[in-house]
Amino acid sequence: MLIAVCDDNKDELLRISSILDAYRLERKASISYHTFQSVSELLSAAKGRGYALYLLDVIMPAVSGMEAAREIRSFDQDAELVFLTSSPEFAVESYRYKARDYILKPVKQEQLFPVLDSLRAKKENPRRGLSVKTKTGIARILYERLAYVEVMGRQVYFHLSDSSVREAVAPLLEFESELLSQPEFVRTHRSFVVNLMQVAELRGKELTTLSGEKVPVSRQNYSRVREAFVEHLFAEGGLGL
């Protein structure tokens, strides 16, 4: 597990580094970390790096930890963020960026260890999904949140359950075999792969997602899609056709 620590105070960086070293030794944990004294250094290293956790000082010169969090969220929706500060006044704002925690400085072992324990437990029991390269970075797309995949020309769009969309910079062939190996996914059309867990109904040659979007079903795929949907409904405890 890779961790990024950003704080303009050298003493605080040393304190946090010693806590992380102690955690690695005591828990026999496979973690590593990089330290940064400015947000610009952090962001230069972060894109494409895949940090699992960012420990961000809130108050820093030039660019604050909150501004850093906003930039991180523009290319990584899934990394964990923990804010570090000597004042609780930014606590509410921190949750705008889906922060995992908010720790008052000076950071202590008893504050940071539980955060690391929780994150390790989550990593050891990962939720199924795909890592997709997008134009702005790398996005982790969980299968449970993926409604359907659409191909338009050379573009591949991942439509999520909240109606947001991620555009991939790789062809569908790169993801297709992995998706179709999951029991809940089915190809409905040459341009669409759908998550049956996100389907509300099959009517005519069209599926309707739980969010109300319409996905076409081709004539040649209809029987297989209908059979898969019926099996899914039975597995869920009811037939709604």
Ordered by start, the domain boundaries in the chain are: 2-124, 129-236
pLDDT value for 93: 58
CA 64/CA 162 separation, integer angstroms: 30
Q: Is the pLDDT of residue 208 over 50?
A: yes
| More confident: 149 or 128 | 149
Percentage of the chain exceeding pLDDT 90? 58
Of 232, 228, 199, which Cα lies nearest the Cα of 213?
A: 199
Q: In whole angstroms, what is the distance from residue 160 CA to residue 172 CA?
A: 16
Q: Is 238 or 1 the better-scoring residue by pLDDT? A: 1
Q: Which amino acid is at 85?
A: T
CATH topology of domain 2-124: Rossmann fold (3.40.50)
Q: How far apart are CA 232 and CA 226, in angstroms?
A: 10
Residues shown for the chain: 241
Domain 129-236 has CATH 2.40.50.1020: yes
**pLDDT tens-place string over residues 25-80:** 999 998 999 999 999 999 999 987 779 999 999 988 888 888 999 999 888 888 89
Query: Does 2-124 match 129-236 in CATH topology?
Result: no
160-191 per-position pLDDT tens digit: 999 999 999 888 888 888 899 888 999 999 99
**99-141 tens-digit pLDDT:** 778 898 999 999 999 999 988 887 766 678 988 888 888 888 9
Per-residue pLDDT band at 89 (split at 50, 70, 90): low
Would you say 120 and 92 are in contact if contact means Cβ atoms under 8 Å apart?
no
Distance CA 108, CA 16 (A): 8
Average pLDDT, the chain: 88
Rounded Cα gap, residues 71 and 93, in angstroms: 15
The confidence band for 240, taking pLDDT boundaries of 50, 70 and 90, is very low
CA-to-CA distance for 146 and 213, rounded, in angstroms?
A: 13
pTM of the model: 0.54
Instruction: Extract the tokens encoding 26.
Output: 């005591």
With b for 16 or more beta-carbon neighbours within 10 A and e for fewer, the 84-107 pattern comes to bbeeeebeeebeebebbbbbebeb
- If DSSP codes are grouped into helix, strand and coil, which group holds residue 224? helix
